[in-house]
Structure 1
């Protein structure tokens, strides 16, 4: 490493020279017994740095063979497989991602694949990768063997767990898994896309608290969805499509995606950091049955939460502006906050005649500062496409940003609403005073007390599944 590059490299051991030592860079290797095989490589400069358009970062094994090469010129639009994802055609699917992310004086390198256990690697940063800084080289060694207990895994960004990333722990679970597996994610910020494929059921991913464990990534439709894959091939076709045509490529654009059944997410935040106006960008997407979200923050703007099978959400906070709770699923959401960040639409149910849609019980509808009165509706749908769409709000507290009409349909003609069901019961303002619902959409209706009681039972809505059996308090 040239003496002119004073950097801090995390999870790595510097190949030092006397001249380099005189510059005083500090190095650390978090984790006991070597570096995580899934660790991103972090380089910290003493001042803000930019990513160049030439040069590469090479990672070589101890025998000199090339393990990975990351080009600076293509780092912002690089591709790799995540979670062993496969398309509907059985081909591996590669996600678009940033292999080198720069934030201030920190550059984080995300290799294309995991390292090997018990291996020593040398990393070389070529001149041009970071303009104004010359070449650098260091080496590190990984842990000798994988964790022995695959029923209970820990994740720590600081290297104090079995893995350094959430995806690394998920990938350690064998495909075809038939037993419950718990993944504890320690406090920290995890900048990554996460994907759970269909044949990894029975997973619990549990953080250290909603404000303590944060999984974030700016994934969206322009990066990994319909707009990005307009010319997509067989490797890009979504598995488990509910709507054959419109779901063709829109399953890859979320921060955290799950195609497996019997999945539980608890005590953490998932934040899709795509800027407002940056296209559809789910924080969490679940496309299977018995998906349970408990004490989670889900933050984005458009399409924050998408559930396509049977789902249950409790004691959570969901934030967004456009259709930020949506999908084809049968979903029960209780005791949660739905925060509108701009004028728009809270829900868009695309349920069909075979199953219920989205049911909200004891939720609180709030707004961010600056969101105008009467600028948000409870739900909307295109009734010419989804004639059986259903959304139900029971015992809901809502601020004045909810418009008196309550609902929106396309076309705006109740004679064409088909059997769409927009139901409500016991709505109040935030102080608990009943609100005036006399101006609600003509084809919506208020439930009777008996109906409200029945639809307030999650096992009734979810076809016999009682998710409360799996909820911890």
Structure 2
């Protein structure tokens, strides 16, 4: 059995995982405790009870009292709550307390907490996920694990006791530099996790920070709140992947409070990676994915001036949720129906969108705000099923009269002849110009398009077409840039 951190290891990052590698594939048990103690004081600093399930597996039933919050959700804070100073499940906004029926972890200061997997097994490796932010700098710790926590086919795992000496010491201090932070799962950077790096950055900092994420597989649930002027720089879509098995069932919204529909509603917890109440964020050269089906965004954005370059987003149902002002360039997006959900203004340029049939968008922008605009993009399915550009069907009595989806110089494959499967109101702006077939490059037949949609004319609508090719026109005057200082 190999351990990480190694016995007696020094200069360990406080956001480290605990990793056990065996010669056989271990099976996670449903009883026993994992404990971490301060090696000097003997105080227990964290524990994981394996008799507590990770999270629900069946969808919740919501009653008529479940509604949107009547007052905007309050994101303000003077300090970031953590698992060390706040009970996980402590309610925020108008939500009820999150019941302790499942594992709970405060991530990114969200006190209502997330359900999470305390152990994830891949091949012969078992990775233990401690509660976030429970370890500190300049401390020594030892780990104990009950025998029933993990089971090997040959029965050779007998647990780990204090006398086995799995001890390690964290780094003396947090990084003294703030302009560039390095994330490396091997422990050779400033942080082992993407979440650890974001937690280190002060809320709404005016100083630009670059988070360099080294090549690797980062299986972690990331929730980022109240951050600004940050660039996340991966090592390429094929080299750096951040992912987690999360969806609406595993991390549902509260029984009494709905999410998503209007600005100011309760935050959603179902995405693998969420940027919530953030602004001026750049992400590039990275893959972000969910590992579950259902309502499961790979990336959920609630913020202003968020720019994505060469980002591969993989999700299910609503693969990307886009709220605010968002720019995508040279990105890849894979999802199921309702591939993009949101009330924001999204400008996608030279990006490739794929789904398994169904709507590519369910846009909910309000009056005075643009919706989803695609310029020189591809929209296609790879399984032969027919998709459509979007829908704005009636939803709880709302038909989204100001919804907008615009395609300029795009190429398509396997799209319904109607283009849009449902448009709730004639006032919706469902436009396209110069849509061509991906295989032949020739203009597609638009004679059967939805009667509420409109094909733009090269001469009569020349000014409007030019406007829609301009990101600033769509994004409230913002001209995106990969540089943090604009």
Taking structure 1 as the reference length, what is the TM-score of the superposition?
0.85
Q: Supply the distance in 1 between the matched residues of 2:435 and 2:484 (Cα, whole angstroms).
A: 26
Match of 2:201 among 173, 177, 199: 173
131, 148, 173: which is aligned to 2:176? 148
- The alignment status of 1:10 with 2:10, answered yes or no, reads no
Is structure 2 residue 336 aligned with structure 1 residue 309? no
Q: Secondary structure at the match of 2:337?
A: strand
**Residues 1:211 and 2:238 aligned together:** yes
Aligned mate of 1:365, from 379, 382, 385: 379
The whole-number CA distance in structure 2 between the counterparts of 1:337 and 1:47 is 41
Counterparts in 2 of 1:428-439, with a 5 A limit?
428-430=436-438, 431-439=440-448
Deviation at residue 242 of structure 1 after TM alignment: 5.9
Gaps of 5+ in 1: 1-6, 15-28, 86-91, 411-415
CA distance in 1 between counterparts of 2:472 and 2:187 reads 41
> Tell me, which stretches of 5 or more residues in structure 2 are unaligned?
56-102
Q: CA deviation at 1:230?
A: 2.3
Indicate the residue corresponding to 2:108 in structure 1.
Answer: 83
C-alpha distance in structure 1 between counterparts of 2:323 and 2:256, whole Å? 25
**1:84: how far off?**
1.4
SS at match of 2:279: coil
Choose the corresponding residue for 1:253, options 263, 270, 293.
270
Whole-Å separation in 1 of the counterparts to 2:125 and 2:482: 44
- Of residues 30, 33, 39, the one that matches 1:56 is 33
Query: Does 1:376 pair with 2:376?
Result: no
Structure 2 residue aligned with 1:462 = 475
Higher helix residue share: 1
User: What's the Cα RMSD here?
Assistant: 1.9
The offset of 1:177, in angstroms, is 1.6
Deviations 1:65-110 (A, max 9, x none): 101111111252311110112xxxxxx2211111111223211111
1:121 aligns with 2:141: yes
| 1:100 alignment partner, one of 112, 115, 119 | 119
Contact 2:231 2:484 in 1 (8 A): no
Matched, 1:405 2:418: yes
Is residue 345 from structure 1 mapped to residue 354 from structure 2 by the alignment?
no
Give 2:433's aligned residue.
Answer: 425
Residue 42 in structure 1 maps to residue 19 in structure 2: yes
Q: What is the 5 A alignment of 1:190-209? A: 190-198=218-226, 200-209=227-236
Deviates more, 1:309-318 or 1:172-181: 172-181
Deviation at 1:349, TM superposition (A): 0.7
- Give the CA deviation at 1:363: 0.3
> What SS does the aligned partner of 1:409 have?
strand
Report whether the alignment pairs 1:66 with 2:47.
no
Q: Secondary structure at the match of 2:418?
A: coil
How many residues align structurally? 419
Matched residue SS, 1:60:
strand
Q: Deviations over 1:196-251 (max 9, x none)?
A: 112x211111101111110000111011133xx3257xxxx86xx76169x545x2
Contact 1:388 1:418 in 2 (8 A): no
CA contact (8 A) 2:33 2:49 kept: yes
Where does structure 1 differ by over 3 angstroms across 4 or more consecutive aligned residues? Answer: 468-472
Distance 1:471 1:349, change over 3 A: farther
Q: Distance in 1 between matches of 2:119 and 2:224?
A: 23
Native 8 Å contact 1:272 1:282 kept in 2: yes
Name the structure 1 match of 2:87.
none
Could you tell me which residue of structure 1 aligns to residue 158 of structure 2?
A: 134
Q: Tell me by how many angstroms 1:49 deviates.
A: 1.1
Q: 2:340 aligns to what SS in structure 1?
A: strand
How far apart, CA to CA, are the structure 1 residues paired with 2:256 and 2:128?
Answer: 29
Post-superposition shift, 1:252?
A: 1.2
Q: Distance in 2 between matches of 1:264 and 1:73?
A: 40
3-state SS, counterpart of residue 183 of structure 1: strand
Describe the SS at the equivalent of 1:453: helix
2:295 maps to: 280
Does structure 2 conserve the Cα–Cα contact (< 8 Å) formed by 1:76 and 1:100?
Answer: no
8 Å contact kept, 1:75–1:99: no
